[in-house]
């Protein structure tokens, strides 16, 4: 098991993908009027790409067209002091091809927010990294 300089377990590429596929909510980091912005989104892992469904007039849709973005998903247990975090960096693209839109519309990606969500954003995973923190006897006694 590989550990980083902070003592966190470094996750393999395959484990990062498995964990991303296990959760429906993540956060996308993009630029909005030259400032960093973070927005929680529902998503689906499709192959090694993140698929997000949003409104065509949304700030997210406008800001992510052909831009480099970061995406993060995680799960933590505060009581046990365990958890994981996976980060993706890649180019986000608006899906405009009718065939690809039909393919993505058939995926089980259901938005939680109300309103029309007929616009798809795909983030191609160009960089993928993840870390896991596990409970250790030493860490638990430091509470």
Domain presence at residue 87: yes
In a domain, 1, yes or no: no
Domain count, the chain: 1
Mean of pLDDT values over 14-20 = 97
Residue 140 lies in a domain: no
Which residue segment(s) compose the domain that 25 sits in? Answer: 9-135
pTM attached to this predicted model: 0.87
Enter the tokens of residue 119: 């616009």
Contact 9, 134 (CB under 8 A): yes
Structure token digits, residue 36: 């960093």
3-state secondary structure of 58: coil
Contact at 8 Å (CB) between 108 and 79? no
Residues 71-126: pLDDT tens digits? 999 999 999 999 999 999 999 999 999 999 999 999 999 887 777 788 999 999 99
CA distance 126 to 28: 15
In a domain, 141, yes or no: no
Asked, for residue 3, whether it belongs to a domain, the answer is: no
Q: Is residue 143 part of a domain?
A: no
Q: Give the whole-number percent of the chain exceeding pLDDT 90.
A: 71
> Residue 79 maps to which CATH number?
2.30.110.10
């Amino acid at each position: 098991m590989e550990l980083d300089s902070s003592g966190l377990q470094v996750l393999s590429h395959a484990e990062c993908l498995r964990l991303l596929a296990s959760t429906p909510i993540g956060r996308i980091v993009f630029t909005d009027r030259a400032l960093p912005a973070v927005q929680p989104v529902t998503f689906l892992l499709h192959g090694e790409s993140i698929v997000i469904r949003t409104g065509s007039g949304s700030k997210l849709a406008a800001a992510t067209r052909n831009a480099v973005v970061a995406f993060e998903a995680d799960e933590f247990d505060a009581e046990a002091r365990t958890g994981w975090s996976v980060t993706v960096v890649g180019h986000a693209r608006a899906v405009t091809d009718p065939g690809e839109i039909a393919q993505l519309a058939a995926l089980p990606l259901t938005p939680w927010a109300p309103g029309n969500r007929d616009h798809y954003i795909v983030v191609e995973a160009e960089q993928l990294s993840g870390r896991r923190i596990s409970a250790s006897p030493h860490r638990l006694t430091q509470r």
